[in-house]
Structure 1
């Protein structure tokens, strides 16, 4: 399977959403669709990770995870979502900041660029490899997550956050990078780890994942 990605209109805010997607589930898809409506996104590109450096290695193969992402997109039945598989074609760990440096070079200095993350990832961003440098390259579009607050770990980091917050989504379209938008997206208590645990216990997950993804998991015998 190859990259499935098309370009939104010139100078539109381009947003990418990365994840291991082992497997992709409604907790990924539904908040991102809601975010797109809040921010006015024409396109959201899903960016599956290959070798996440800070997490256990995926149970599904890169090809299986990519296939599940495409099946989930097909189930949505909308042109909103597409895929960029560049990280799956790497043999080395996926450092987000390096991927976005490449995207910035491709799209030019003035193109608005956004990275969609969850509130949990925002709070841990200082521990990421060059995590705070992401704001020099893109905006952060933050989806709400159940159980996570909005306060950073230290007063200095909280000041860093507050200096970059915007409530005006239009600003995300007017400048290339540097802003943080906290979106009031649906709070769905779903995680890939809980899906894998349910599968390991022989339980189905139809309420957590789309029908085509569930069928593929069954056909492939994943997470048993």
Structure 2
């Protein structure tokens, strides 16, 4: 690491639909923040991710839920670059724009173990891997199988996903302790995901 890099601010980027944000997202962000001694972690909600179905919840509600989820953590921030751009969100476009806007920041792109195995299918991955450091989060005893240079960070096992949260709400089950209380309030306030 050269002297310039050692003086740079270190920021983790955690992208996703966050539909809704849950404790798993927050734990991943905190574990990577601690493990890599980052200054901040930025949550970047996508407008329309290229690898998933379009989000069922409008960007405005998802942004509001993220703001509530991270409100009590001063090293978590929201960045709406992908929502403002509209359309499909390709990571390479986001990274290039952020690097252009913040030349004094060294970025780390955080992805889950499921995405690590999918990396070879990412748009312009060979170019992307040269311009940003990927961080793969994994649970204990799981191997991250990839040909790409990634930093591995182990996280405690927490089997929660946005899909599971939405399904539980549709089935009338509780999501208490899966999402922060403020996020649950937003979901109920706007009757999201079939909640009552």
**TM-score, length of structure 2 as denominator length:** 0.90
* Structure 2 residue 37 is matched with structure 1 residue 40: yes
Name the structure 2 match of 1:85. 80
Deviations 1:2-56 (A, max 9, x none): xxxxxxxx61212211010000001110121011111101100100000112211
SS of the aligned residue for 1:223 comes to helix
SS of the aligned residue for 2:15 comes to strand
- Which one has a larger percent strand, Structure 1 or Structure 2? 2
* Residue 127 of structure 1, aligned match among 118, 121, 125: 121
The number of residues matched between the two structures is: 189
Name the structure 2 match of 1:173. none
* Structure 2 residue 157 is matched with structure 1 residue 206: no
Name the structure 2 match of 1:59. 56
C-alpha RMSD over aligned residues: 1.9
1:198: Cα distance to partner?
A: 0.4
* Structure 2 residue 187 is matched with structure 1 residue 217: yes
Unaligned runs of 5+ in 2: 1-6
Unaligned runs of 5+ in 1: 1-9, 165-179
Q: Which moved more, 1:132-141 or 1:56-65?
A: 132-141
Name the structure 2 match of 1:182. 152
Distance 2:159 2:191 in 1: 25
Name the structure 1 match of 2:132. 138
Q: Structure 2 matches for 1:89-128, cutoff 5 A? A: 89-108=84-103, 111-128=105-122
The 8 Å contact of residues 11 and 40 in structure 2, kept in 1 or not, is answered as yes
The 8 Å contact of residues 22 and 58 in structure 1, kept in 2 or not, is answered as yes
1:144: Cα distance to partner?
A: 1.3
Q: Provide closer, same or farther for how the CA distance between residues 147 and 56 of structure 1 changes in structure 2, counting only shifts above 3 A.
A: farther
Q: Which moved more, 1:206-215 or 1:136-145?
A: 136-145
The 8 Å contact of residues 120 and 145 in structure 1, kept in 2 or not, is answered as no
Q: Provide closer, same or farther for how the CA distance between residues 198 and 143 of structure 1 changes in structure 2, counting only shifts above 3 A.
A: same
* Residue 145 of structure 2, aligned match among 138, 142, 151: 151
Deviations 1:163-207 (A, max 9, x none): x3xxxxxxxxxxxxxxx2100112210000011110110112012
